[in-house]
Amino acid sequence: MVWPFNSNASLIRSRHAERDALIEEARKILSEQYTPNNASISTSILSSNIEDLVKGIEQKKWTSTIIVQTFIRQAIIAHEQTNCLTEVNFQQALERAEELDNEFAKNGKLVGPLHGIPFSLKDQYHLQGKRSATGYSEWLKKEPQSESAAIARIAFSLGGVCIAKTNVPQTMLNFECRNPAWGQTTNPYSSAHTCGGSSGGEAALLSIGGSAFGIGSDIGGSLRIPTSYCGIYALKTTNGRTWPRAGSIEFGPSPTPIKSVAGPMCRSVQDLDLLVRLFTKTMNPPMNEIEERAVSFRDVQRSYGMEILPYMPLQESWLDPLQAAEKRSKSGGEKTIRIGWYACDGYIKQTPVSLRSMEIVTDALRNHVDTSNNKGVNIELIELQPSELQSFDTFKTFVGLTSITRYDFLKRHLGADWIDRALWVALILPNHSFIRALIGSIARWVLRDPYPSQFLNNIANDSARKFVEHEHQRERLVKDFEKRVWNSHNLDAIVCPVQATSALPHYGSTLLAPLASATILYNVLRNPATVVPVTRVDKNLDDVKSSASVKQKWNGQKDEKKTSNMVASDLAKRFNAKDSHGLPFAVQVVTREFEDEKAVGFARLLDDALAKRDSAHRKEFGPGAWQRWNTKNDLNK
């Protein structure tokens, strides 16, 4: 749907027609080439992780062309279901798959460990020959990009095949997914709910199986929130660690020290492990390889057109935390794995599905024993108190640092586009002090909520002095958290909700932007974090209105009286267990700065623990989960 009264309306319709024509062209080609034999193995392909897909090519079980055809067919279904695609690269992907097949037939060798594997890109990342409008209708006028982003070029070098780019919200400053250029993307499990944002199109596409992996980004939860909403896996990386930003959209100069980071999104924790290994080793080759090739690691990074990042080779041991703890103990370190956890952070009241998810997680971890690898390693859980987290102070600091220019670097590109109402607080209120004061006063004196006035005061401070104060506050928060939480409890990891709720209804974030404080916390603190799906909303187990025990848990959260009344009130209206039945819910696994491998390792540990607790876990999530869910629901109708 084109937004009304937009002077670029005809251009928007034209770009939609171009995209749709390419989709129809691919649909026609696939209908002619896709044989019954190919159709019979499509379920197997869509249910396989990346490593098994590549093995299938190597063992001549299937070809790159069949894999790419299968994922393109599924991408078309995903787009029909959710409106997730912006730029399609189907024809080029099919041609590349044929080249890979010819090369393999000729010499019997794979071009790389991602040989023939389809992947997708968040729209902000450039793909040669395609535009990067990123939701701005004015940018639909721009010429296609002359070269691809560094992260895409690395994937190409490993054998990957890019099939599409995916949708984002207007300005990418929202955790829904809607813009004037490409419209609204919906949740794969409910068209009435958002897929999340800003990497929302990626999450929707991957959830339905239209891509084997994707590249998203995260500055305040942009990768983690849609990953949680759509039931997939992802890694929010440490800034400056491995994943380059070169070749992505630059909105203009912004002084904020909180930078967007690229990260992988995928359908299983096994794929996450593989991607981290491959990309890290590619950009940070072992020193013996560098010496043999007589090049520096900087030369390697430059070859992909990326910015120079510090040399940080793969820390492989912590991809298996149990074995790593065993090794650590042999050198005098702690053998027990210590994991901090919390449900309510003292600022945002959690929905019943969030509380239930943390019960599942802690139960799974307490009872997890890996008999083949643990060698006496124990898992100790430490419940963190809301007062230790300082979630609201961190949220305030984030708002102060990112809004220092009143988001002018984002607004300047709007042109004729209307501002999405979910962005009014961020994009309009900074210029209206009276309205900010009025909202803050109503919240404080009518709703008895002191929080809104405090963060609204930070949303429009554009002086150098205030900026320095916010940056100083950030450094203090980082140091205090390191001392008070990581060091005091001697933690290896922290597990907590990605957000207080499952996917919101469309426009639900309008008054619920503070929900992002749960993810923002670890952007401000510079921590890497993985996302692991845990469960789904259950209309019987998570309904506050019909269950006294659920209502008691809802009203009995730690520091419940200190949480935001305004957020809790609106969230209670938005979260409906019956309407949300089946929507995924995930947790984030957080580790110390630059310990990205550890975050992936603990994600795998948790995923294994969840699967051991409930054998259905691997059917609920992972490759092919969307198809299995639909089949189950069809049978239950």
- The series of mean pLDDT values per 10 residues for the chain, 637 residues long, is 71 98 96 73 96 98 96 98 99 98 98 99 99 98 98 98 99 97 98 99 99 98 99 97 92 82 98 98 90 85 92 95 93 93 97 98 89 70 97 96 88 94 91 88 90 87 85 97 98 99 98 97 99 98 85 80 94 96 99 98 98 95 96 70
pLDDT digits (tens, 9 = 90+) for 560-602: 789 999 999 999 999 999 999 999 999 999 999 999 999 999 9
pLDDT at 611: 98
Other C-beta atoms closer than 10 Å to the C-beta of 636 total 6
157 catalytic per annotation: no
pLDDT at 614: 96
Strands 379-383 and 337-341, sheet pairing: parallel
pLDDT at 372: 45
Residue with structure tokens 């109402």?
421
The alpha-carbon radius of gyration of the chain (Å, integer) is: 24
198 catalytic per annotation: yes
Q: Give the separation between CA 292 and CA 185, rounded to whole angstroms.
A: 48
The active-site residue, picked from 148, 198, 199, 268, is 198
The active-site residue, picked from 42, 122, 391, 553, is 122
Closest-CA residue to 59 (of 16, 115, 121, 6) = 115
User: Two tokens at 221?
Assistant: 């939860």
Q: Give the separation between CA 155 and CA 117, rounded to whole angstroms.
A: 9
- Range 521-555 burial, b when 16+ CB lie within 10 A, else e: bbbbbbbbbbbbbbbbbeeeebbbeebeebeebbe
pLDDT at 4: 58
Helices 517-524, 464-481: inter-axial angle, 10-degree rounding: 90
411 catalytic per annotation: no
- Residues forming a β-bridge with 588: 496, 531
User: Two tokens at 465?
Assistant: 């002095």
pLDDT at 35: 67
pLDDT at 546: 77
Closest-CA residue to 378 (of 390, 367, 363) = 367
Residue with structure tokens 């997914």?
177
- Residue pair 343/497 in contact by the 8 Å Cβ criterion: yes
pLDDT at 217: 98
Query: Before 207, cis peptide (omega within 30)?
Result: no
Tell which CATH classification among 3.90.1300.10, 2.60.120.620, 3.40.190.10, 2.40.50.100 matches the domain 9-249+256-268.
Answer: 3.90.1300.10
Other C-beta atoms closer than 10 Å to the C-beta of 620 total 19
Q: Which amino acid is at 315?
A: Q
The active-site residue, picked from 222, 268, 357, 502, is 222
Which DSSP string corresponds to 513-536? GGGGHHHHHHHHTT--EEEEEEEE
Q: Give the separation between CA 572 and CA 554, rounded to whole angstroms.
A: 10
Other C-beta atoms closer than 10 Å to the C-beta of 613 total 17
